[in-house]
Amino acid sequence: MIKNTDIQQITDKHLDEIKNAVNRVVESGWYLLGEENRKFEENYASYIGTKYCIGVANGLDALYLILKAYIEMGKLHEGDEIIVPANTYIATILAISQNNLTPVLVEPDIQTYQIDPSKIEEHINPKTKGVMIVHLYGQCAYTDKIEAICKEYNLLLMEDNAQAHGCEFKGRKTGSLGHAAGHSFYPTKNMGALGDAGAVTTNDKELANLIRTLANYGSSKKYVFDYIGRNSRLDEIHAAVLNIKLKYIDQDNEHRKQVARYYIDNIKNPDISLPTVDDWSSHVFHIFPIRTSKRDSLQSYLERNGVQAMIHYPIPPHKQLCYKEWKEHSYPITEKIHNEELSLPMSPVLTASEYSKVVELINNYR
Ligand SMILES: Cc1ncc(COP(=O)(O)O)c(C=O)c1O
């Protein structure tokens, strides 16, 4: 079976280095908030191009903590509205709701799958206080227009960079484009840990210090608690593994781009819509999304022929039970994407014989 993302093979690529790093942590006897963490935060901030990086337990916490910190700083208040793409992974929206803020869903662009900048302004009202863009599938969602809107209406601009480590906008990395960004290092991500892990990047010192405190039970001094915080820290083992993964992220993304280029140049089936990348943008192909009205039968055909294709995502957020109050809302573009999207195998370890087999199967599919 050609897996969608073969995590074992991705780990095997640097197995000795990873084992050495894990052993080093095990033998150090220091498992939390130590030297590996300090190094990773420094390395990742420098890679992304921000002054600060705070390692946290996962990507959802990273987004939650950004919003929570803005509430503690008095920049956001309960009930404030945060604009977010309607077709994002649920975690972006959960982070907003869990802070008693109101997510306002905006349709994506059908070509790029990113939030449609031309539809943001119509959702702005006096309660709107922020925009959370999501670099979905690995493509940059930031545009000059979004930046201009946020400046004009004095909105916080936050990035969900869970799927786009290494992606750029005009030479600047995603994760450094807004006021703050949340990153996930879930194992299948472009830069994955060996379990859950995440980070926040920002240039805002007050925000960075507050997030560090909130992620440590609300404490900046041992046994003194200034906030009702949570426990969300990046384990030393994950930080050590991420220090290795960071060395290879650009090389891994280059491989992903090469696979994507092959798919784009060689898939000729007229029933398939291929992803597009705008000139100003970049794409690190966390996944390779195609669209077709025959999605489910194409997926079964590929499965029968030894190729695992996945759906990102089968049910849109507004149709989920946890947001039943939105079930009558209509987001036709989002629904179309959820009904037609299929992710072809994509990873830094996919071989030429594997991705050419995928193309051959798709071109032969009627
Ligand atoms: C777009 C997006 N946001 C947030 C998250 C949450 O990250 P995590 O799984 O590390 O909590 C994910 C990944 O799962 C994601 O894909």
Q: Ligand 1: which residue has its CA nearest to atom 10?
A: 59
Residue length of the chain: 366
Q: Ligand 1: which residue has its CA nearest to atom 8?
A: 59
Maximum alpha-carbon separation in the chain: 66
CATH topology of domain 248-364: Aspartate Aminotransferase, domain 1 (3.90.1150)
The structure's pTM equals: 0.98
Q: Ligand 1: which residue has its CA nearest to atom 15?
A: 162
Structure token digits, residue 284 = 């690190």
pLDDT tens digits in sequence order for the chain, 366 residues long: 999 999 999 999 999 999 999 999 999 999 999 999 999 999 999 999 999 999 999 999 999 999 999 999 999 999 999 999 999 999 999 999 999 999 999 999 999 999 999 999 999 999 999 999 999 999 999 999 999 999 999 999 999 999 999 999 999 999 999 999 999 999 999 999 999 999 999 999 999 999 999 999 999 999 999 999 999 999 999 999 999 999 999 999 999 999 999 999 999 999 999 998 877 778 999 999 999 999 999 999 999 999 999 999 999 999 999 999 999 999 999 999 999 999 999 999 999 999 999 999 999 999
- Looking at residue 278, its pLDDT comes to 77
CB 267 within 8 A of CB 37: no
Give me ligand 1 centre to Cα 115, in Å: 17
7-107+114-243 and 248-364, same CATH topology: no
CATH topology of domain 7-107+114-243: Aspartate Aminotransferase; domain 2 (3.40.640)
Q: Which residues line ligand 1 (CB under 6 A)?
A: 58-60, 88-89, 91-92, 134, 160, 162-163, 184, 186, 196, 198
- Looking at residue 339, its pLDDT comes to 98
Domain boundaries, the chain: 7-107+114-243, 248-364
- Looking at residue 160, its pLDDT comes to 98
